[in-house]
Amino acid sequence: MILTLDVGNTNMTGGVFKGEDIIATFRITTKMPRTSDEYGMLLCNLLQQNKINPDDIKDAIICSVVPNVMHSLASAMIKYLDIKPIIVGADLKTGLRIDVPNPQQVGADRIVDAVAAYEIYGGPVLVMDFGTATTYDLVDETGAFIGGITAPGIRTAGKALWQDAAKLPEIEIAKPEKIVGVDTITSMQSGLVYGQIGQTEYIVKKVKEETGLNNLKVVATGGLGRIIAEETDCIDFYDANLTLKGIYLVYKKQNRNVN
């Protein structure tokens, strides 16, 4: 079994692959500082809760956009799982040609999303990840990453409202029944959710106009991506586990021999 970890700014998502199948997933809060022992115990407990013996994990790969957790996390895997994990980066063999001036600036999460979207759904493809940031990344028909767009995530935009405006409360991110809100909460929900839908549709439209790729496939992932995907026809596929699948696809290209 192979352990894949997607370390995001808000959450760390884990997936266990047995062959090509994801047999377990779990989440850990990223922002809480932890020692290597704490990470090790957490990982072992989560595996056991999913009826997986930690000894059955034969290898691991980490995709991270949070550098300051990596030492403790990698050390935990070495100590508790006896595995030195692969770390995804622009210099790793991914099968994706990064055709931008500074490939090292492309985040590991965007690389694995692009790999998964292209290999699973084909190209050209625009892949969206609705996380702490909302990212839109374009892969052409030859499998080259040719650029992207970065915007505040839905929850990030919401935090700006309730942290910087004294009278606006913290709210649940959900789509209200009508676009015109009847109170503070529904008006904020409307602005956040319908605003993201409008942004998504406009960006897809402009990407197609500027590139001439009218046959562009549009794939979405990320925790809040399902809400958006259900409300617009411009998204062709929603795949909740796209990032984990991309991490596993990158893992397979490393040709590591595991027993």
Predicted structure pTM score: 0.91
* Model confidence pLDDT, tens digit, residues 15-74: 999 999 999 999 999 888 899 999 999 999 999 999 999 999 999 999 999 999 999 999
21 is known as an active-site residue: no
| Mean of all residue pLDDT scores within the chain | 93
- The CATH label, of 3.90.780.10, 3.30.420.40, 3.30.9.10, 3.40.50.150, for the domain at 2-87 is 3.30.420.40
pLDDT at 90 over 80: no
CA distance 45 to 68: 23
pLDDT at 208 over 70: yes
Give the pLDDT confidence score for residue 103 in this predicted structure. 87
CA distance 37 to 14: 17
Catalytic residue among 6, 59, 109, 140: 109
Burial class (CB in 10 A: 0-12, 13-18, 19+), 146: middle
* Model confidence pLDDT, tens digit, residues 229-240: 999 999 999 999
Question: Cα dihedral angle (72, 244, 195, 230), rounded to 10 degrees?
Answer: -150
CATH superfamily, domain at 97-242:
ATPase, nucleotide binding domain (3.30.420.40)
Q: Any idea where the domains of the chain sit in the sequence?
A: 2-87, 97-242
Give 136's Cβ-side CA count (13 Å radius). 20
